[in-house]
Chains A and B, each alone.
Chain A
């Protein structure tokens, strides 16, 4: 399945891109598995607090993924 992952705030600083597509095999169908995959690709995000949104709704690591899903990694911003 193909999913789109969007990056915000400091996460986008680490990934150096705003979004990218991933082709996942059917076994990697939870946000948790996606998360460990992303943390391998971008080690800095391991030390960063962030929340997940799945198709414009905030969600948690246990959510399952489907083809064409859009996942966002959203860190808290501190600036003001």
Chain B
């Protein structure tokens, strides 16, 4: 606890506050310019469980601002690399890396058990998606974004406050949105904004101070100006977000997710999946691993009788056609979390466990 003694010394925090930090799960979406400082500071403060989502890889041009990474990390996945670095920084914190992008297909699964989402993404569709998922899940979204030397920070969906859509209703045909890759960015700016986000996250967890909800903070780093604008809740936009979020949730309820070989390898390392090879007895097994069960198609239903319907299941076959059909069938019969290996085991070129 020595690590945290200076913050425990604050009367607003104390031992009880530190326990709140330990017990919370925060999901950081995007491990780039905003995500890096958010991750570092949530971990430093002792936030018990931090999920980090990013499908991108580290590039040299990221290093002027994303100071979690080093030159030797270039080419590696951001979520995995950041998780490793954060773990070194504070091994008491559990960091869960998710090495894919946040999409409509995986959004609800990713957010599942988290209590706060930190929006560190770099594009508008992801921000609307986070907003709508957060609305359905009734959790706050701590937002920041930037353009050149300017930044915006706010907390949406906090205690029934305004949402991102209340501030910026979605405009179908707006052409001019740009990423920092094309406009340029001074490295300190996302770090300043990320620290403001981390501050809001900690206040929400601790229940102290006043949270930056119903307000938009605008920071101009070039002229050092900070101002806050009042945001009002717009019931139509709240409803739009909620409806869109629910539609996404429903769409994915019945959908079988096809996973890539990389995701397959990741799953092999986890105990939570039931991994099933659908090969028939007469087919040669290309490879196996201790946690792969061989269940021929006609025995599958019987085999799964004793499993809960929410058991995470991955099916695979030689080419992905049989596993797709079987996974569809299981989903229609009440299983909620069935995956199959896209393109089958033939697409797996690197075999971690040889038979």
Contact in complex: A47, B146 (CB < 8 Å): no
Q: A8-B150, A10-B176, A49-B171 are in contact. Are A77 and B145 (CB under 8 A)?
A: yes
> Is B228 an interface residue when CB atoms closer than 8 A count as contact?
yes
> Which residues of chain B are within 8 angstroms of A79 by Cβ–Cβ distance?
33, 122, 145-147, 178-180, 183, 185, 190
* Distance in angstroms between the alpha carbons of A75 and B146 in the assembled complex: 11
Interface positions, chain A 8-30, Cβ under 8 Å from B, are 8-10, 13, 18
> Is B210 an interface residue when CB atoms closer than 8 A count as contact?
no
> Which residues of chain B are within 8 angstroms of A8 by Cβ–Cβ distance?
147, 150, 218
Contact in complex: A80, B174 (CB < 8 Å): no
> Is B9 an interface residue when CB atoms closer than 8 A count as contact?
no
User: Chain A's interface: helix, strand, loop or mixed, by majority?
Assistant: mixed
> Is B227 an interface residue when CB atoms closer than 8 A count as contact?
yes
Contact in complex: A78, B178 (CB < 8 Å): yes
User: Per-position contact with A for B83-124: 1 when CB-CB < 8 Å, else 0?
Assistant: 000000000000000000000000000000000000111111
Contact in complex: B218, A58 (CB < 8 Å): no
Contact in complex: B151, A48 (CB < 8 Å): no
Contact in complex: B229, A48 (CB < 8 Å): no
> Is A1 an interface residue when CB atoms closer than 8 A count as contact?
no
Q: Which residue of A lies closest to B30 (CB)?
A: A80
> Which of B's residues lie within 8 Å of A, judged by CB?
30, 32-35, 119-124, 127, 144-148, 150-152, 167-168, 171, 173-180, 183, 185, 190, 216, 218, 223, 227-232
Q: What 8 pairs across the A-B complex have the smallest Cβ distances?
A: A79-B180, A49-B171, A77-B145, A80-B122, A49-B174, A9-B147, A77-B147, A57-B230
Given A49-B174, A74-B229: 14 more A-B contacts, CB < 8 Å: A9-B147, A9-B148, A10-B178, A47-B174, A48-B174, A53-B229, A56-B229, A58-B231, A76-B124, A76-B177, A77-B151, A78-B179, A79-B145, A79-B183
